[in-house]
Structure 1
Amino acid sequence: MGEDCIIRTDFVAPETRRNEMTLYDELVARGLIAQLTDEERIKDLINHGRATFYIGFDPTADSLHVGHFMALTLMKRLQMGGNRPIALIGGGTAMIGDPSGRTDLRSMMTVEQIDHNCECFKKQMSRFIEFGEDKALMVNNADWLRNLNFLDFMREVGAHFSVNDMLRARAYVNRMERGLSFLEFSYMLMQAYDFYKLYQEYGCNMEFGGDDQWSNMLAGTELIRKKLGEDAAAMTINLLLKHDGTKMGKTAGGAVWLDPGKTSPYDFFQYWRNVDDADVLKFLRMMTFLPLEQIDEMDRWEGAQLNEAKRILAHELTAMVHGEEEADKAQEAAKSLFAGGVSSDNMPQAVVREEDFKEGEIDILSVLVLCGLAQSRSDARRAVEQGGVSVNGDKVTDIHTSYRPSDFAEEFLLRRGKKKYCKITSR
């Protein structure tokens, strides 16, 4: 992430929430809570700032994405209420791979890849959560999982789990027809052991996670009860879903990342600016820190006013991830493009390098893929053949159109469709 990537600190303080509602009440009002183990106990813990809670992040890529962002905003809300977050980086569990929500086995990563991704996560998280003495903690489960003795682990942990009960877990049921490896089957035990270790070493009394993690989280509370005779709590938050039930955070080009090098602030802004009308208020409640009264007022908005709600959503989220300045730039760029007065100052940029040219030329299909306006050459071919591509305002109709380095010396503005632009330079 860029150095100017910050999270805003001018959020609404807990004491100014609507009608003096409790923190738990606000989580309910924002549509965040899915399942929990003991409502009254959880209310008491988080409302009085007595929760030391953890959320796990398996480093399966070198950047956090929109799905992680939901968890980070929850951690921020709870930290503002006086609770202590623990961000658990899964340097150990990533060596197995969580089967939840998967229809096949995850690709195996090397230790070097995992460790690199862990470092990327650490840098990004520190811009969202306040870490330090008596504040949030960042812990890596590689510290205890990678050196486990298999036989000792099976005797200490495996003896407390029923295979019959485990097979009823949703994550495993969904995989039984295609085949479930023993490697993945052991993931639940690893996650349960994480909670057990954090409870012992840091007094962690709660675990939070996505609703697809419910079975794994219950396994942790059971292990703590059986091994220590103590009660720990678990709560899941609703997954970020569109109104049709599909997951948010995916585009034709892949995931929506928090790293500006993978998803530019402009593209991040545009992603939220283009959400469906039926989703905008839900996302404002779940992901922003705007007062609920302000969002409730938008319930009466219609037509063009909903476009304003989308602009607010896009600006708020972009400011939280990339900072106010980048959010303002993205908003101005989007406004210029929508109005037809194309300004290249703030639009996404890409660079063609010497090695991108073959015999001194690069074709339009390669340019589209290089700058991220097409997912593949076949996708780029369709865009050109359908008349949706232009360079500096001139439509490109021939898929064999090629360019030399000198063509990129001056302004080279590539457009796909009505709203996707990229400024391309050469190096």
Structure 2
Amino acid sequence: MTYASSFLSTLDARGFIHQITDPAALDAAAADGVVTAYVGYDCTAPSLHIGNLVSIMMLRHLQQTGHKPIVLMGGGTTKVGDPSFRSDDRPLLDDERIEANKASIRRIFERFLTFGDGPSDAIMVDNDAWLSKLEYIPFLRNIGRHFSVNRMLSFDSVKLRMDRDQSLSFLEFNYMIMQAYDYLELNRRFGCVLQMGGSDQWGNIVNGTDLIRRADARDAFGLTTPLITRADGAKMGKTAAGAVWLHEDSLPGFDYWQFWRNTHDADVARFMRLFTDLPLGEIETLTSADINHAKAVLATEATALCRGREAADAAAATAAATFAGGAGDDLPSFAVVGPVTILDALVGLGFAASKGEARRLVAGGGARIDGEAIADEAAMARPGARISAGKKRHGVLVSG
């Protein structure tokens, strides 16, 4: 459909929209005034990862088109764990770890959103503020009565576990009720009328809109994004080395830049629309010309949003120096005292998870010291050497 609001028009043109509970009504609300919307994030790690980036960018576009974002931190729901499409229980964290993770994650959002007290300024809220104060019997009477267990059992996120005969604890089963209650609280406290999230959250989001309608007789909306996969079918953000973290404490700037530079040709235009602020016309021009140059622009612009322009430019310069045969200042480094074997260097730089994996890399001809292929696993590398694993991963040894 054609949207009248700049918010939904932008999301639609850039590929963010999968499902909306009532597209026409939400579009009218967004065209008529300020819409307050939220996305929830549990505090299970010190950093979010690329899988969270689509929803972060949606909040960014929401604010850029004049609406108000709420970042809901799951200080309360993290104590339970979201069972959606998981095959096992999520490990439970103590309060101290949850608080530390929450503080660390906030730094990421400060790069994408403007926080403050204005009409379209973002706010950050912790659902522990209300969940930790709930009394069980009143909660069951006032909120639980609006939920059908039959319907909850029909959601794909629950059916998946049950079809596999895998345990789904009562604690986890309550997660969807808690998430719906979050939406009700945000609606009552801040006038929030839109919850956004990934397609796997559709059932939880619809639960929230239904609860608001049943409990308070008010309308609310849900919007989900499509599952983002790469051209090869792999889930976005999953690599052989693990998750691609947004925080520089968890992933060096050059590695983050290089992840985007390694984008498949067929994904470049789509990822530019989703993960950068580049205008659509400029994206079309870039991707219809030199695709390798477009990849570098994607990497630099995506990194600038997440890590800052200075970090992005440093990573781009490092890449240029690396592929020209030098060694840039922003490459991953491993501190050593004197010479080390190529196996130790590969493991220390994170290019191999174990010495066995490093041996296989050497045996396959994928390891190089200063650009020279290494066939001997006993080969030594000294501080200052540039270590390469394949064509795309490079690091330097520094004196420790």
Scaled by the length of structure 2, what TM-score is found? 0.92
Equivalent residues of 2:111, 2:308 under 8 A apart: no
1:162 alignment partner in structure 2: 148
2:122 alignment partner in structure 1: 136
1:324 alignment partner in structure 2: 309
The question of 1:387 aligning with 2:365 is answered yes
Equivalent residues of 2:36, 2:70 under 8 A apart: yes
Question: Following superposition of structure 1 onto structure 2, how do residues 128-277 of structure 1 map, counting pairs within 5 Å?
Answer: 128-134=112-118, 135-176=121-162, 177=164, 178-277=166-265
Deviation at 1:133, TM superposition (A): 0.9
Measured at CA, do residues 98 and 285 of structure 1 come closer, stay the same or move farther in structure 2, by a change above 3 Å? same
Deviation at 1:294, TM superposition (A): 1.9
Question: Following superposition of structure 1 onto structure 2, how do residues 9-408 of structure 1 map, counting pairs within 5 Å?
Answer: 22-134=6-118, 135-176=121-162, 177=164, 178-298=166-286, 300-301=288-289, 305-339=290-324, 341-352=325-336, 363-401=341-379, 407-408=382-383
- Partners in 2 of 1:168 and 1:380 — Cα distance? 46
1:163-185 deviation per Cα after TM superposition (whole angstroms, max 9, x unaligned): 11011111111111223221211
Equivalent residues of 1:46, 1:81 under 8 A apart: no
Among all aligned residue pairs of Structure 1 and Structure 2, give the percentage whose two residues are the same amino acid. Answer: 41
Deviation at 1:21, TM superposition (A): 7.9
Measured at CA, do residues 361 and 270 of structure 1 come closer, stay the same or move farther in structure 2, by a change above 3 Å? closer
- Partners in 2 of 1:40 and 1:108 — Cα distance? 41
1:412 alignment partner in structure 2: 385
- Partners in 1 of 2:340 and 2:80 — Cα distance? 41
Deviation at 1:49, TM superposition (A): 4.2
- Partners in 2 of 1:185 and 1:111 — Cα distance? 21
Deviation at 1:362, TM superposition (A): 5.3
Measured at CA, do residues 21 and 225 of structure 1 come closer, stay the same or move farther in structure 2, by a change above 3 Å? closer
Deviation at 1:237, TM superposition (A): 1.6
The question of 1:421 aligning with 2:394 is answered yes
Deviation at 1:147, TM superposition (A): 2.9
Equivalent residues of 2:314, 2:330 under 8 A apart: yes
Equivalent residues of 1:24, 1:47 under 8 A apart: no
Measured at CA, do residues 198 and 334 of structure 1 come closer, stay the same or move farther in structure 2, by a change above 3 Å? same
CA RMSD after TM alignment: 2.1
Measured at CA, do residues 151 and 376 of structure 1 come closer, stay the same or move farther in structure 2, by a change above 3 Å? farther
1:239-261 deviation per Cα after TM superposition (whole angstroms, max 9, x unaligned): 32213443111211111111122
Equivalent residues of 2:287, 2:294 under 8 A apart: no
Equivalent residues of 1:218, 1:234 under 8 A apart: yes
Q: Secondary structure at the match of 2:323?
A: helix
- Partners in 2 of 1:329 and 1:49 — Cα distance? 41
Deviation at 1:234, TM superposition (A): 0.9
* Between 79-88 and 60-69, the greater mean CA deviation after superposition: 60-69
Deviation at 1:363, TM superposition (A): 4.4
1:15-42 deviation per Cα after TM superposition (whole angstroms, max 9, x unaligned): xxxxx98331221111110111111121
Q: Secondary structure at the match of 1:278?
A: helix
1:269-300 deviation per Cα after TM superposition (whole angstroms, max 9, x unaligned): 11111111111111111221111122233564
Gaps of 5+ in 2: none
Equivalent residues of 2:43, 2:73 under 8 A apart: yes
- Partners in 2 of 1:377 and 1:347 — Cα distance? 22
- Partners in 2 of 1:413 and 1:292 — Cα distance? 38
Measured at CA, do residues 364 and 152 of structure 1 come closer, stay the same or move farther in structure 2, by a change above 3 Å? farther
Measured at CA, do residues 295 and 394 of structure 1 come closer, stay the same or move farther in structure 2, by a change above 3 Å? closer
- Partners in 1 of 2:388 and 2:284 — Cα distance? 37
Q: Secondary structure at the match of 1:204?
A: coil
Letter in 1 for 2:299: A
- Partners in 2 of 1:381 and 1:288 — Cα distance? 39
Q: Secondary structure at the match of 1:308?
A: helix
Q: Secondary structure at the match of 1:64?
A: coil
Equivalent residues of 1:337, 1:419 under 8 A apart: no
Measured at CA, do residues 309 and 199 of structure 1 come closer, stay the same or move farther in structure 2, by a change above 3 Å? same
- Partners in 2 of 1:378 and 1:148 — Cα distance? 51
Q: Secondary structure at the match of 1:325?
A: helix
Deviation at 1:156, TM superposition (A): 1.9
Letter in 2 for 1:325: E
Measured at CA, do residues 377 and 110 of structure 1 come closer, stay the same or move farther in structure 2, by a change above 3 Å? farther
Q: Secondary structure at the match of 2:291?
A: helix
**Structure having greater relative contact order (Cα 8 Å, sep ≥ 6):** 1
* Between 103-112 and 189-198, the greater mean CA deviation after superposition: 103-112
1:97-140 deviation per Cα after TM superposition (whole angstroms, max 9, x unaligned): 11123122212222222111111112221222111112111001
